Each structure stands twice: as C-alpha cells, then as structure tokens.
A and B are shown apart, each in its own frame.
Chain A
Amino acid sequence: MEDDLLICRCEEVTRSEVEEAIRMGLRTVNEIKRFTRAGFGLCQGKTCGRLICDILIREADMAPSEVLPGTSRPPVRPIPTRVLANRVSKEDE
C-alpha cells in the first residue's frame, strides 16, 4: 500500500504517519489520534478509526480483540456553540 495514502481525510494524515506512531510504541487508536491528529477533524474519526485498527492489527501484530476503538466524544456531530450555551440544565436553575 502506498505510504502517502490518506488515512484521515479531515486532518490529512497519511498511512506512513500512522506507521511512524506504531514504531514509536503507540498501541491504541487514542494514542495514535493524539500523536498524528488522525480523528481530530470534523468527522471525529468515523472513517479513519477503523482503518487505524486495521493498521494496528497488521503492523503491531496485535490480535483484533486487543485493538480497542478510539473513545467517542460528544457531540456526535458538530453542534453550534450557541446551541450548547442555550441549554438550561436543572443544576443551573
């Protein structure tokens, strides 16, 4: 597979950058995300997350069951800040 293949389109992270992270000893999707920024974009890793799991299984010689998906963070889709700010919670009343 080509080294400059894009794994994360949002943050333009290539396969070779993910492999570099694995060579450094990183073994989870979360660590690779923090090191390469793959998964930090608007889609929050919806595409690259699984690709990175695949690369980990192959390059780090891990069993598929050992590779955990990255942490999903709210909001699931980008939400305008003003919408979040207008939320009134019980604690604030």
Chain B
Amino acid sequence: MQTRHETEVVVIGGGVVGCSIAFWLAKRGKDVILVDMNAPGTGTSVACSGLIGGTFKFPNFYMELSIRSAYMYPKMVEELGEEIGLRQDRGFLSLCLTEETYKEYSSLREEHLKSPVYRGRMMAPREVWEIQPGVSREIVGAHYNPDDGDCEVLRLMYVLIRACQRVGVRMLRDAAVTGFALGGDNRVEGVVINHDYLIRAPNAVNAAGVWATEVAKMVGVTIDLYPDRGQLLITEPAPMICPTPMNSLKQVRTGHFHIGTVHELVGFDVSVTPTASARMTKNAIKSVPIIADLAVIRQFSGLRGMTRDGIPCLGAVSRVPGYYIAAGHSGITLAPVHGKVISDLIVDGRTDLPIDEYDPLRFERKNGSQS
C-alpha cells in the first residue's frame, strides 16, 4: 500500500477531544496528523450542550477527575488564545420539580460527600430564584454545584481547530480509518485511510468518540462504546433570565435557550423526533415557565458515546504498543484531561493524573476474554 504521509502521531477523530490531544502534542513538539472521517468539528462535539463539570458523575473518582478537568480549562483557553464563552463563576443548578427528585439528588449528594473535592449543596427555592430569576415558583429546591459550568461548544470547537492549525497540526478531512499496519510485536506502524493509503506513524490515538468502538476493533480491542442519542431544541433569543446553566436547560450568552435532554438507544440514527420535542419542551416549561412563549427555531441530535460502566476510556492499550484510546462521554468536560494525559503518555511515557480506572482494556477483563 502506498505511503502518503509520515508523522509521529496520528490522532483519529476531529472532535473536541481529538483536537485537544492534537493541540497539546504539537505544542509539546510532536509532528501530528489529525484525521476525521467527515471533517473536524462535525460530530458529537458540535451537537451537545457544552456542560463542564462533575455533578452526579459516579464513582466519585470520575467526579473528581471531571472537576479537575474543569479547572484546567482557563489555562487551556489562555494557550488557545481565544475565548470559548467559558462560564465558571456561576456554578450549575440541578432543579428539583418534585419532592422525589429532591430526595434523589439529596441521596446522590450523600455519596458525593465522601469525596473531599465535592463542594455542592442543596438550595432552597428562594436562593435559586435569586441567582436564576427565570426559574418556576413551583420548584421544591435544587442541587447547586459551584465548581461546574459550561462553555459555547461551537466556539470551543473552532478555537481548537484554529489553534491546531497554528501549532502545525495537519488536518485531513474525508479520511476514514479503515485499518492499521502493525509490526511483529503488535506495535503500531501506520494507519490505513479509506482502504487506499497509509499514514506511517509509530503512534495512533483513537479519539473517535462514539465511533471509537469500530476503530478499536481494527486492532482487536473490545471497548463497547455505544451510541446514546440526545436531542436539543434551540429557542429564539430572550432577555437573560437564566445566567446559570442547569440540567437539561441553559440560556446562552446570546439569549437563546438550549433545551434537552433525552437518552435514546437507536443506534447511529441521528434523526429528530416529535416525541422528544414534546417531552423536552414540557419539562423546560415546568422549569422556566416563560419558555412557553418562546419559539423553537431548530431541533437536532447528537450521539453520546457511552460505556457500560459510565466512565470513559483513557490510556494506552498495553498489548498494542503505540495505540492509545481517549473516548467516551463526556468529551467537553474531559478535553483538557485527555489532552494532558495522552500528550504525557506519548511525550514522557507516563502521566501524573490518576487514570488506572479508565483503562480501555477493562471491558475485556470483565468479560473474561483473553487479553
């Protein structure tokens, strides 16, 4: 097969995770080619809500890593050189519309309290209305986490793409990975693109998000990331009445509301449904009643890459030297961690972040299959 490019690292997947990894690798002196089967910035990263944080992410070590990643964002933004609409000073509200939800969140909070990192608390309705005037008078209360926040994902995505281009990452579009060239000891020697040509490289990073399962299978690794479809509605802009991001609902800087959330197991189908828009608008109106008067201008969907244990894959694949995986929900929160960990592993051979629990091979061990 014809070799068309040579490089030190091929990053597979041009979402926020892949671009963060490519950026940090290039920044630390590596020659990097990033490939995307469509184009950078066309998958899950541009069809999500852009929440950054650790609320109700379990086990607690996952919450802790998420909050750590959130606090890596300001420095990353500085390095990227452009604003991404980061909101980290307002915290994050999980509204309780019913007593049951209040009880549920209180008990989840009990679990989080076992971690020294966690600073969230339950909030009485009056306090919620003070920081979030648009919220319904009917709420029972809320969970508030001061360490969570959000960003504008489209800005984040394109700021990352531009930063990658600035530090010399070569980006290939319409470049689907269809195989790998492996050496005698199973070591990565190159990546096959479109069944057509080879990019020769000693390192490959699978950052293909929900498509990572397929790209892992090409080197005989089973990670079982599966698509969990979410849908989003965007309303026309309104005056700012909800400056704090909430679960399933946020008002962005430009005044538009982003309304979620559904979890649908329908494979890779990215169509949108009236059932979801009915359900999501009903809930949104209960949370922020004035939304009833706003018009919805668009509805779209995106695919979360979920694992069976709910935490992402991050790390080197020990039996395929040179092969790394950084994939799985939630990529926006963890993009700085993914960037640091993978660049640490490739440049220094080790990382000081605690990533053992994220070992991509853990699924094979649980299945009892050979590794």
Q: Are B41 and A78 in contact (CB under 8 A)?
A: no
Given the known interface contacts A25-B171, A73-B300, the answer about A82 and B42 at a Cβ–Cβ threshold of 8 Å is: no
* A26 to B: closest C-beta gap in Å: 7
B262 to chain A: closest CB distance in Å? 12
Known: A27-B173, A31-B42, A82-B285. A91 touches B275 (CB 8 A): yes
> CA separation between A24 and B163, bound complex, in Å?
11
A30-B236 Cα distance, complex, nearest whole Å: 20
| Given A78-B297, A92-B278: A28 and B39 interface contact (C-beta under 8 Å) | yes
Give per-residue flags for A16-38: 1 if the beta carbon is below 8 A from chain B beta carbons, else 0: 00000000111110110011010
Q: A63 interface residue, CB < 8 Å from B?
A: no
> In the bound complex, do residue B292 and residue A81 qualify as a contact, i.e. CB atoms below 8 Å apart?
yes
Chain B residues closer than 8 Å to A75, beta-carbon distance? 296-299
Which residues of the other chain, B, contact A84 by a CB distance below 8 angstroms?
Answer: 233, 274, 277-278, 281, 296
| A71: B residues at CB distance < 8 A | 300
Chain A: CB-nearest residue to B165: A24
Chain B nearest CB from A79 CB (Å) reads 6
A81 touches B295 (CB 8 A): yes
Stretch at the interface among B133-141, B153-161, B200-208, B239-247: B153-161
Binding site for A on B (CB under 8 A): 39, 41-42, 46, 154, 157-158, 161-162, 165, 171, 173, 233, 235-236, 259, 272, 274-275, 277-279, 281-282, 284-285, 291-300
Question: Which 9 pairs of residues, A with B, have the shortest CB-CB distance?
Answer: A78-B295, A85-B281, A82-B292, A73-B298, A89-B275, A87-B278, A85-B282, A84-B281, A81-B281
